[in-house]
Amino acid sequence: MRQLRCSPRTRAHMSFDIEHLDVNRLLEQWHWLCTEPVALIARSGFGDLFLRTLEGKVLWLNVGAGTLSEVAESETIFRDSLKHPAKRELWFADQQLETCASRGLKPNDVQCIGFKLPVVFAESANVPDNAYVADLYEQVSFLGDLHRQIADTPDGGKVRLHVGPPPAKQ
């Protein structure tokens, strides 16, 4: 498999090099949260997706947290916001990606950094070497299903996860 050498500039470019990605496939397990038609405009090295609505607003699908939030009124405002290091770090976590790269974790254009124990679980903070290079589609799909299952669980609540195909739609 082809490995990219990921300098910060390369990763910044990869964030917007998304034409080869299938947004419908990426969002297949997220329709419970992202219910409107969207276009993919960027993605982070951790699998987060930045989506443009039909009205032109930009949404951030944070796959680790399982949240969908509006981050800009337009794609132009979104791209302008990235000139501010704090916003870029919040949305794309470039410093965390640098740390991963220094440990040999360098995802290519169809991969992302995943976590053996997803970061939504408090216990993930205590897992050594929790990060790994994951297939982007598999990671985003897995996390969509996981967050769907725990969406109504209060913080700290107990969960029973079901691994396998999602239930059939009625």
Q: Compute the mean pLDDT over every residue in the chain, rounded to the nearest whole number.
A: 89
Q: How large a percentage of the chain has pLDDT more than 70?
A: 88
What are the boundaries of each domain within the chain? 8-150
Q: Mean pLDDT, to the nearest integer, of 107-119?
A: 95
Q: How confident is the model at residue 163 (pLDDT cuts 50, 70, 90)?
A: confident
Among 5-9, 139-143, 164-168, top mean pLDDT goes to: 139-143
pLDDT, residue 41, reads 97
> Which of 92-96, 113-117, 166-170 is the least confident region?
166-170
Mention every residue, 6+ apart, whose C-beta is less than 8 A from residue 158: none
Task: Check if the beta carbon of residue 42 is closer than 8 Å to that of residue 15.
Answer: yes
Give the Cα separation of 88 and 50 in Å (integer). Answer: 12
Crossing angle for the helix pair 85-92 and 94-102, to the nearest 10 degrees: 60
Q: How confident is the model at residue 117 (pLDDT cuts 50, 70, 90)?
A: very high
Q: How confident is the model at residue 125 (pLDDT cuts 50, 70, 90)?
A: confident
Q: Tell me the pTM.
A: 0.87
Reported as a single tens digit per residue, the pLDDT across 58-102 is: 999 999 999 999 999 999 999 999 999 999 999 999 999 999 999
pLDDT, residue 6, reads 39
Task: Check if the beta carbon of residue 17 is closer than 8 Å to that of residue 40.
Answer: no
Mention every residue, 6+ apart, whose C-beta is less than 8 A from residue 108: 1, 2, 3, 4
